[in-house]
A and B are shown apart, each in its own frame.
Chain A
Amino acid sequence: MSLRQIIILITVALAVMVVLPGLGRYGAYIVYVVAIASIGALALNLLIGYCGQISFCHGGLLGVGAYAAGNIGNAGQDMVVALVGAGIVTAFVSVMIGLPALRLRGLYFAISTLAAQFILEYLFRLIEPWTHGVSGLLIQPAPFFGLDLSNDRGYAAIAVGLLVMSLIAVSRLLRTDLGRRFILIRDSEIVARGMGVNVARTKLWAFAISGFLAGMSGGLLAFTSRIAAPEAFEIALSVDYVAMIIVGGLGSLPGAVIGAGFVVLLPEVAQRIGETFGAATQTAALREMVFGLLIILFLIHEPRGLNSLASRAVRRLRRTSGPLSNNKRSSASDLEMTQARL
């Protein structure tokens, strides 16, 4: 991410913040739900899209973050402390889940994360002292750097701010040696090993960093919904997150945000459209169907995700608008381009 892009990003974020007071609570709610999901999707994209470790327990990890943040917050700590704490706890759990990755590859590892998801769900219901079992952990509002921001607009500001910070941090990370090692492992573990990469340690770093971000995202979710309950972190949520990064674009930072927006907002938009004609059951069915079909269609026609579609559209615009265009670039070099942009 270039300096220019960072500036654009921050400007957009500031613009969102300026607009926020004008939004209703529902509007603000939508903003922070998308922003929080974006942080979660970013975490998962780091793992799957950049390091090639397919995970189906992201929902469970967000849950770990939520419970951790809730417990720290309820103990009277500042929200910032709670979020960082949640990040550390979740990073630890994520590394635990990642340990089998040292022995298992690809599909087998993916299925072991499926197991992790179900075991986490079970533990959420079981460990009453930390999770309050099925009742869920009620979470008291906490100050943010001492400020009282415990309302929907305040949460939106925090979430957007954190998202921008995470985006910048991850894009910086990808430029370091560690980041490059992630990509090497994704492309071929054997080649990476041949080049002297400590595959085990690098993978665990990916799990730790991804877990940290997931924990923060889950923690924010907990504070905004005032409860961390097991039903909120089930396998369906993990599936949603995988959908986000694939729809947005594997191995693409903007893709995480776009994918999160898509997956969170699409059902809502479909619902609103459905409400204008159909009965409630049909609306619900239609909304699911649109979701399922669009995912399939995207995967067939735009396997590199919405981000690639968007960047191609932008390029086409530039091409028609001025001499800066580069007509020689074939569509096949998109992948390299997206990677170069990062």
Chain B
Amino acid sequence: MFVLQLAVAGIAIGSVYALIALGIVLIYKCSGVVNFAQGGYAMLGAFITYGLTSVGLPSVIALVLAIAVMGGLGALTQILVLRPMLKAPVVAVMMATLGILITFRAVCLLIWGPDQIGFPALFPIGAIELSGIFMTYNYIAAFLLSAILCAGFLAFYHYTPIGLMQRCTADNTRAALAVGIHVSNQVTIAWTASAMLAGLGGALLASLNGLSLGLSNIGLVAFPVIVLGGMTSLPGAVVAGLVLGILQAVTDGVLTPAIERFLREHTDIYSVGTLQQVIPYALLVLVLLVRPQGIFGTKESERV
């Protein structure tokens, strides 16, 4: 029962991880760029939603508008920052996305201040109790929305012409160019979609967890997710997101107390600290060493 309750919490958070990670994978597949700013897009999406509700818009309209704004912003960053950096070394591109993250945080700090903000309720407040397991409407909504979005997005990616062009671009840039696909436009589309996913994920997360600048840290949590899933696998990101959400909840609720109980009985050590913060990364190292391409990823060969 207890574990089930943990799993419910883990799945809710994990499904949001999946949304955020999807965006990172999408960009990486398409352009080989690792977007460290994804957490920043999530944070900004949540703040814009909040800002729009605070001027009086109903929360659903605010959310839709915010996602649209995020899409535009995603396209804009790709055009203004990433396009001119086509020939830059990988690490410079990584750093540029970190620069975007820093800038976004500063913008939010300037407009909304450093304090934690109560996020408007996107969903009704309250919970269903199912034989002792509490499921808040927030959890249910976040999970359902993430699930629908992930599924919808994957369907879009596999069954529409734009999806096909995205997959072509991700598969082989040279061939895509040769058949007349405007590759850099496809990359812009990937950034747009990715920023929209992040914005929505951010708003969902804020409705679960409240809103502050700390929300941007979700981007770092997403990295173990995408590596575990395989950098290039979208379904992998979804599965890994859920697994990681559950794993963190179980670490907090079961693993840490069990270890600490054991240590307190048998040694002088009293606490193992915040174990859940390293569990994803420890797992990441293990997976990388055993299967560098991730669980669902395909092997890439190094180009000479």
Contacts and interface: CB of A to CB of B under 8 A. Distances in A.
Nearest to A186: B89
A295 B95 contact: yes
B108 to A, nearest CB: 8
B106 A111 contact: no
A48 B90 CA distance: 11
A125 interface: yes
Contact of A100 (B92, B96, B288, B302): B288
Interface in B260-285: 272-275, 277-278, 281-282, 284-285
Interface residues of A, number: 47
A282 interface: yes
A78 interface: no
A243 interface: yes
B99 A303 contact: no
Interface stretch (B80-88, B121-129, B191-199): B80-88
A150 B154 CA distance: 62
A300 B81 contact: yes
B106 A285 contact: yes
B100 A296 contact: yes
B55 interface: no
B148 interface: no
Interface string A21-46: 00000000000000000000000000
B65 interface: no
Q: Identify whether the interface residues of B are mostly helix, strand, loop, or mixed.
A: helix
Interface in B58-91: 81, 84-85, 87-91
A315 interface: no
Contacts of B227: 108, 111
Given A100-B288, A246-B91, A288-B106, A296 B278 contact: no
A112 interface: yes
A235 interface: yes
Interface string A273-311: 000000001101111110111011001100100000000
A50 B87 CA distance: 18
Given A242-B91, A295-B99, A296-B99, A282 B282 contact: no
A76 interface: no
Contacts of B223: 111, 114
Contact of A190 (B88, B93, B100, B302): B302
Interface in B217-254: 220, 223-224, 227, 231
B198 to A, nearest CB: 18
Nearest to B294: A108
A197 interface: no
B208 to A, nearest CB: 23
A122 B277 contact: yes
B304 A190 contact: yes
Contacts of A246: 91-92, 95
Nearest to A109: B288
Contacts of B98: 239, 242-243, 295
Interface in A157-181: none
B281 A188 contact: no
Contacts of A293: 99, 103
Given A104-B292, A111-B227, A112-B285, A300 B85 contact: yes
Interface string B112-134: 01100000000000000000000
**Closest 8 A-B residue pairs measured CB to CB?**
A292-B103, A292-B102, A288-B106, A285-B110, A289-B106, A295-B99, A115-B281, A285-B109
21 contacts: A54-B90, A54-B91, A103-B292, A106-B302, A108-B231, A112-B288, A114-B281, A115-B281, A119-B278, A190-B302, A242-B95, A288-B103, A288-B106, A289-B106, A289-B107, A293-B99, A295-B96, A295-B98, A295-B102, A296-B96, A299-B88
